[in-house]
Structure 1
Amino acid sequence: MMVNQWQQYIDLVQKEVVPALGCTEPVTVALASAKASELLGGVPDHLTIKVTPNLYKNGMGVFVPGTGKAGLPIAAAVGATAGDADKGLEVLATISDQGLIRANQLLDEKRVSVTMVSNDDVLYTVVDASLADKHVEVCIAKAHTRFEYMVVNGDLVYQAENVQCTSSTSEQSLSLTIADILAFITSVPLADISFIKRAAELNKALADTGLSGNFGLGLGASLQSQMDLGLLSDDLLGRAMRLGAAASDARMGGAHQAAMSNSGSGNQGISATMPIVAFAELRDLNDDQYVRALMLSHLVAIYVKSKQNKLSALCAATTAAMGSTAALTWLLKGDLAAIHRAINSMIGDVSGVFCDGAKAGCAMKVSTGASSAVKSAILAVAGRCVSSQQGIVFESADDSITQLGLMSKTAMLSTDEAIIATMQHKQVG
């Protein structure tokens, strides 16, 4: 690859790997509501939220940080009463006690409603809000923090520049391949990419919180207890699963701590980070190895997600771990061919895991991705993998990644519809 592409790669990672407080779909609703309150000059009397079925799916079962409650209504309410629209994905970083009390009052008085609307953009979110005789409408679209338009009393006060609604976060003119990513991370000056260590710091802190057992499913803490009893081993496989699960437990369980996200998802960021942290805890890595491995993992995770829809029936927490398997293979002295083998094995393993919404149970899938990442890396450095004669796997991992993305956009659409219909039925029931 050309050296002049290095800055493009760095810019891409800095855009897609950012701190996020809480699950990013409810946070999108909270952000739109916070902006609505800002435009109104006070807390709304009423809030009406319209979201796509996919955003609804990812928002109804996950706890909102600092609230003790799950779902889009509380996200909208607390965003309106205590959110800071200038903080983007950290809109809920400073929830006050009074703001939370007011948010719960809005819910108790049934002043918040959430409905689903169809839109080609899966992140399409509209908040209608009113205060006395003032009315505003705020739309977020095409990215979790991108305001599309704002209307105050019927007057358009903001309209974003028109951009193509791409199916993913990074389908841009910038080309990504496994070979180019590997060449980049092994050659770029270390100082240029050292910022990626922040991902390990944030997500490890989240895992430490999750290990308390007080959040989400408590999977990380449960695995830890069995390690303490000697039933499970604290080896690379066990530690990667435990740390990944614990971080997801905390994030899905409403811990008031930011995750370092990847491609708009905290769980994807966790999946691309924690297996590398686990390896570093078990083996002495110098700063050069650690930073380059983290960068390799996150950039591959971005690449894999770029072939998929932003939200779909495919579990991106498991596919993000393909970044981890690439980095683990590299840390185990595997070459480019070995990295291709590792990713192919993961595609042969976890490609059928579907997304049934953001929730505490995501910790199970994060741990599954971590497990597959470790197994696939070990298999790859032994010269073995799921071959191109099997399933949807091709000889080149680049082709396998493309095929996986294609299936997520086509064959899994009916699966997505069935999942959403099931979740709707449960809400009504």
Structure 2
Amino acid sequence: MASGSLFLSLRRSKLGSLCALEKWKPVRFLSSGGALRSASEFHEEEELNTKENEDDLKSRIFRLRLPKRSVTNVIDKWVGEGNTVSSSELRHISKELRKSHRFKHALEISEWMVTHEEFQLLDSDYASRIDLMTKVFGVDAAERYFDGLPLTAKTTETYTALLHSYAAAKLIERAEEFYERIKGSNLSFTALMYNEMMTLYMSAGQLEKVSLVVEELKRQNVAPDIFTYNLWISSCAAALNIDQVRRILDEMSEDSGANDDWMRYIKIANIYVTAGHLVNAESNAAAVVETEKRITQREWITYDFLVILYAGLGNKDKIDQIWKSLRMTNQKMTSRNYVCVLSSYLMLGHLKEVGEIIDQWKQSTTTDFDISACSRLLDAISGLGLTEIANNFHMLLIERNCDPTNISE
């Protein structure tokens, strides 16, 4: 979900990940001049000097494992050798670098394109640059870059990118000021921009402001998406405003943009709101599962939704009970189940449980993996600085042939 709903590793090559997991100690090598070099530097130079069967620009750039190595020099050398490079190729390489959390190298590609006027920059290039500058140099640098852009480059995408930077850093006042500035820009915005503000307010516990954002979205005749509704419902559930949840579900069912997933979401939500599972303090999660052992795997998503709602309520005990009960059934767990409960524990800040769930996942026989969801979860764990847990999770994905760093979107 775009920010959405309640929801950010160093991704490495397989060899890099294995080394990190084993906590290897750097070996030092003597260069021909007698200077000490790290193992990483030694292997990097060795790779650069080795003639590969397939030599292309992306391969050369990805051999630069150390952030201090210059991507600009690699591109200049590639072009100097008489090779051509296109903007689409550079964008693709930058995207792959971002997926691997090699933000500095991705930013260098952006800078190289800026300095070569033959490359016409798109709105998405400016937006990407704002995001990369935030990650490499911080929000202030991204803000200065945005302010210095020509008016033609201050588009829906760049405005939304900077707003995302403020929201991700939980800079509420600056985000609110910029949000007001956006509303006065006379540009057309999608639900994504409003979702950013809703996510910020959810993360800050300012639930009452979420509905205000929805009201503004409707005043501007912007069509809400599934993430908008999810955030709105979650804020009402967290405030125990179940009547409002029902009204939102009714509105969703009348939305002309509803699809099969959308309608399934509504059905699931109605099951729990109507049955009172969300607010009934006497309900026992184990009993709920016991009475529905015959449910199909497809219907089992209802329990994922219940976990999310309890996460919105901040009720860890209920999440613990549901998870324990689900593990006791004879149904086979899916990656969706694991991603759901891990996301909930991350949102509530229960990091010990995150590590435990990943250990349980490693011991399971689960074979289905949602690459996109696992990639976002890996980003979220890494973004919180949980390096050891992130490495453990990354290793699980590698073992199951589901390494997000090797998947091209």
With normalisation by structure 2, the TM-score equals 0.26
Instruction: Decide which structure has greater strand share.
Output: 1
With normalisation by structure 1, the TM-score equals 0.25
Instruction: Decide which structure has greater helix share.
Output: 2
Q: Which has the larger radius of gyration?
A: 2
